[in-house]
Structure formats: structure tokens, C-alpha cells
Amino acid sequence: MKHAERWSPSKYEMRDGKLLPSKDTRELHVSSRLIGRLLTDRYQPAFAAHARGRMLDLGCGKVPFFEAYRAFVDETTCVDWPSSRHDAQHIDEFCDLSQPLPFDDGMFDTLLSSDVIEHLPDPVLAFREMGRILRPGGTLILNTPFLYMLHETPFDFYRHTRYSLERLAGMAGLEILELEEIGGIGDVMADLAAKALAQAPVIGTPLAAALQAIARVFGDTGPGRRLRRASAGRFPLGYFLVARKAALA
């Protein structure tokens, strides 16, 4: 990763050994803190269990997860679009992520794709390329939104279901180790309502922050966890996937 010594936390940060959403509203809006917390709860144990060797951070932006995975990997390669709207100082390779990737077969041990595949117009090609550049036994760690607002338009093309992710992973020669829904109906309603409230002048941002905080606290209660489990299959906020390329016999 270029200029690793200059890296600083952006959307996510480690606090007392735990990966958490940033409190800096310039990096993560208050209306996205709930989904941020749901993601960090999954990513931190996934990195500990699966990140190793040569890491490719695909669609890396400001490399927000670097602090969470760097202790587990030997080196990091950061890749993003030439037209990325994010700070580009850490990007090693600019390329069109919707085209074949400029890397050799089996080059990486771990591949991270966070909130990327919904922006790729040919998801079959994208998964095949990710499978191609993973070494045998290598691991893909990925999340993508589902019941979520349009973002980074006009480059927001798809919402993938559990079933499309299973199909895409299988076509790429990847075995699914984990495929979980992120959030349930309560989280979806709180996320969408907070994003709508945030558009209101003056009072919108504090109301959005309060709603997200209430939803986060409720989600950690017994009734909140039961509601999430009961509704996640039909009304997920997104999906979290860990898949492995088959090892050589």
C-alpha cells in the first residue's frame, strides 16, 4: 500500500481493540452508523479468521479496514477506479474494476470487496476475476447492500440476493464458508428513515443520529435480536460473504 505511514482512520476505527464506526461525520454520516456497526461486528472476526498473506483491497477508497486487517496479512495492494471520489494517496493500481483485473492468476491470498459489487455492471465477470486472482485456498471477504438507498449514482447497478451471491460464487469456483444477512426489518426501517430525516435542515441530522442510536440499542436487546433473526431472511439490509477457492489436490 502506498504511503502506509500516512494512513489514518476514516469510516472505521479501532477503539479499545474493537472495530467501530467512526464518530467523525466527515467520514461516516450519522445516518450510516447503524449499518457501519453491523458491518464492523462481522468484519473484525472475519479478518482474524481468514485474512493472511497477500491482501488485495479491491475498490479500496481510503482503505477504511486497514487497521483491522493489517496485523494478519504480510502486504496489502490497494486498487480503485481512476475516477474514484475518495482520497487516492494509498492506491497502488488504478484500473477499471468492471474489466479483467491487471493481476496474475493466483496472485493473492485474501481479497476484500466492501460495498463494491453493486457498482459493477457485469457481476459474473467480476466474480470470475476475483476467483482467478485468488490462489488455491485463498479467501474472498465481501459485503454488499440490499434494502438500501441508491448511492454513488449513476454507477449503482444491482442489489444482490443470497441466491445471486451463491450462484456467482459457484460460477467463480468459490466455496461459501459464510453467507449471512446483515440486519433485518427494524434496521432497514431505521436506516432508510434516518437517511430521509437527514435531508431536513437544522433538525434533520440530530434526529437521524437519535434514531440510529435508538435502533442500535434496541437491536442489542432480546426482542431486537429476535426481530432481526425473524425478518433478516426476507428483509435484509445487506449481505456478508466469506468464500474460499478450492485448494489444489
Range of the domain at 100: 4-184+237-245
Q: Is residue 229 part of a domain?
A: no
What's the structural domain count of the chain?
1
In a domain, 211, yes or no: no
Q: Which of 28, 35, 2 minimizes the C-alpha distance to 228?
A: 35
Q: What is the pTM of this model?
A: 0.96
Per-residue pLDDT, 209: 95
Q: For residue 76, tell me if it sits in a domain.
A: yes
Question: Average pLDDT for consecutive 10-residue bins of the chain (249 residues)?
Answer: 94 97 94 97 98 97 97 97 78 94 97 98 98 98 98 96 98 98 98 96 95 96 97 98 91
pLDDT of residue 246: 93
- The answer to the question of residue 103 being in a domain is yes
Angle at 173 between CA 171 and CA 174, to 5 degrees: 105
pLDDT of residue 88: 82
Within 10 A of 102 (CB to CB), how many other CB atoms are there?
11
Residue 220 lies in a domain: no
Write the CATH number for 14: 3.40.50.150
Q: What is the DSSP string of 124-166?
A: HHHHHHHHHHEEEEEEEEEEEESS----STTS------HHHHH
**195 occurs within a structural domain:** no
Residue 226 lies inside a defined structural domain of this protein? no
129 falls within a domain: yes
Residue 104: its H or E element = none
Q: 84, exposed or middle or buried, with CB in 10 Å at 0-12, 13-18, 19+?
A: middle
Task: Say if residues 211 and 190 touch (Cβ distance below 8 Å).
Answer: yes
In 22-98, DSSP assigns E strands to 54-58, 75-80, 93-94
Q: What pLDDT is recorded for position 236?
A: 98
